[in-house]
Structure 1
Amino acid sequence: MDSEHLLLETCLLAGKIMMESGSEVYRVEDTMNRIAHSYGRTDSVSYVTATGIFMSLKNSHHTQIENVGERSNNLEKVVAVNQLSRDFATKVITLNELCDALKKVNQKVPQFPLWLQIVCAGITSSTLMYIFNGTWMDFIATFLIGCLGFVLKTLAHDWLKVAFLDYFIAAFGIGFFAILAVHWNLAFSVDNIIIGSVMPLVPGVAITNSFRDILASHLISGLVRGTEAIIIAIAIGVGIATALIALGGIL
């Protein structure tokens, strides 16, 4: 592989990892161009959207395209790519070493264990419930239902492979068990439990990145991410509403 193709492959791999890990578009473009400039190619042009990455070297007329797959939030990968790009800029590593390191980041960067993610979802749910004028009587129920909602989302995502359906199932489960908890006198307020338990599902990062992309004039990616966040919010709302309609009669 010649140096120009290797450079484009490396830049596109870095951009793909960052986009699939929840980074903003302007940050992805900046990282890709910095890698190219550090290699001595100031003629690089990158164009990044939520679903695809394009990069070209003007003087040699080389262009490559990379598809962006499923997007998630993994800041560990974003930090790893940024650090590797800095190491390359300061000549700590070569282009070949950078490419190999990025491939390892894409495959082997560890995530927090599932049990810890579940516990953190419960803590987030219960503490935010209390902040939003909840009561201590609902704390334990919200913690458990928040954990359960995260488990339902994870299982639905892994088994069904249908976009946004996992959010609907998780929200329905949260509403279902919140109603049952109050009906069995294990908690006091259905509203408080639901408000707290859906917090781990709310697409806060997607909404924030959408506005940041729009403010940075990346209108296409900003609108795509904003639309994605709106659909997730609708799925959560419909799931809660379905549970309330189905079991509201027992309140």
Structure 2
Amino acid sequence: MLNKNEMIVDTVLLAGKIMIESGSDMTRVHDTMERIARSAGVVDPRIFETTTGIVMSIPTKKTAEVQPVLSRSIDLEKVARVNAISRAFANKELSLKETHENLQALTLAVPVFSFRSQLLAAIVVGCTLSIMYGGYWGDLGATALASGLGFTIYSKINRHFRFRFGSEFIAAFTIAVTALLCVRSGFGKSLDMIIIAGLMPLVPGVPITNAVRDLLAGHILSGIARGIEALLVAAALGTGVAVIFRYL
């Protein structure tokens, strides 16, 4: 059974872990964690967060704990829910125990879009951006095929294997091969535009944005780490396409 101070630290760290794992920027993470701690009666909470771990202590009680962050994805639904729970606690609508229980429940049960919905979204994004970038309407079929196959490969690999950056490389390779076959068979016209549009659902836009936000907010370690991670993803995507062009 946790005492009050241990419950405070555990609740704060759990909220921060969920937000970092779900792709939140560090400014929002720190603000939410500090809001929970101060609302629980901690006058001077000491919190240090990075993309791979969080440390919190209550100086007056000599209580401290470290929480590792082992995985990261993009799930803004969880970020919004943690933020809502923290504000409800700050407004005295939830007790500390209820807040902790709600956060634990959030880690186990949160609405997730089905694979079909995600696949449809990837296809729509690819086709829409193809037209926005000046592509041909006649290439929409090839773009939809490339986007769909690339996203499917990416999702299946990430679901069954821990193959970081490899999933992006294989997905980009698949998109480039599909685009090349479509153009050579007459099903598509612009090879470059089909590949670019097909890659867009896989581009790490949120990590890049968060990296810039973290750097501007003074979270140097997190900003650099996220920036390097985004660059590695972009490099994997580019390499997957470059392999095809190298042997054309």
TM-score category of the 2 structures, normalised to the smaller one: over 0.9
What are the equivalent positions in structure 2 for 1:78-227 lying under 5 Å apart? 78-227=79-228
Residues 15-44 of structure 1 show CA distances to partners (whole Å, capped at 9, x for unaligned) of: 000000000111111111110111111121
State whether structure 2 residue 63 is matched by structure 1 residue 62: yes
Q: Which runs of 4+ in 1 moved over 4 A?
A: none
Aligned partner of 1:36: which letter? A
Report the Cα distance in structure 2 between the residues aligned to 1:20 and 1:160, rounded to whole angstroms.
18
- For residues 89-148 of structure 1, give each alpha carbon's deviation from its aligned partner in whole angstroms, at most 9, with x where no partner exists: 111111111101001111101111110000110010011011111010111110121011
In 2, the alpha carbon distance for the partners of 1:131 and 1:162 equals: 32
Instruction: Report the residue type matching 2:3 in the other structure.
Output: D
RMSD: 0.8
Task: State the distance in 2 between where 1:114 and 1:47 align.
Answer: 36
Q: State the one-letter code of the partner of 2:218.
A: S
d(CA) in 2 for partners of 1:23, 1:137: 38
Identity fraction in percent: 42
Q: List gaps (5 residues or longer) in structure 2.
A: none
TM-score by length of 1: 0.97
Correspondence for 1:239: 240
Task: Write out per-residue CA displacement over residues 217-249 of structure 1, whole angstroms, 9 at most, x where no aligned residue.
Answer: 100000000000000000000000112234x2x
User: Which ranges of structure 1 fall in alignment gaps of 5 or more residues?
Assistant: none
Find the aligned partners of 1:136 and 1:241 in 2 and give their Cα distance: 25
Q: Give the stretch that moved more between structures: 5-14 or 35-44.
A: 35-44
Amino acid in the other structure paired with 1:193:
I
What is the TM-score normalised by the length of structure 2? Answer: 0.98
Q: Could you tell me which amino acid in structure 1 is paired with residue 113 of structure 2?
A: F
Q: What is the aligned partner in structure 2 of residue 29 from structure 1?
A: 30
For 1:163 and 1:195, locate their aligned partners in 2 and report how far apart those are by CA, in whole Å.
Answer: 22
- Greater mean deviation of Cα atoms: 162-171 or 139-148: 139-148
The aligned amino acid for 1:122 is I
**How far apart in 2 are the matches of 1:44 and 1:104?**
25
In the alignment, is the contact (CA less than 8 A) between 1:129 and 1:192 conserved in 2?
A: yes
| Alpha-carbon distance in structure 2 between the residues aligned to 1:16 and 1:104 | 14
* Count of matched residue pairs: 247
- Encode CA deviations 1:33-66: one digit per residue, 9 max, x unaligned: 1101111111211100010001010111111110
Contact in 2 for aligned 1:173/1:243 (Cα 8 Å): no
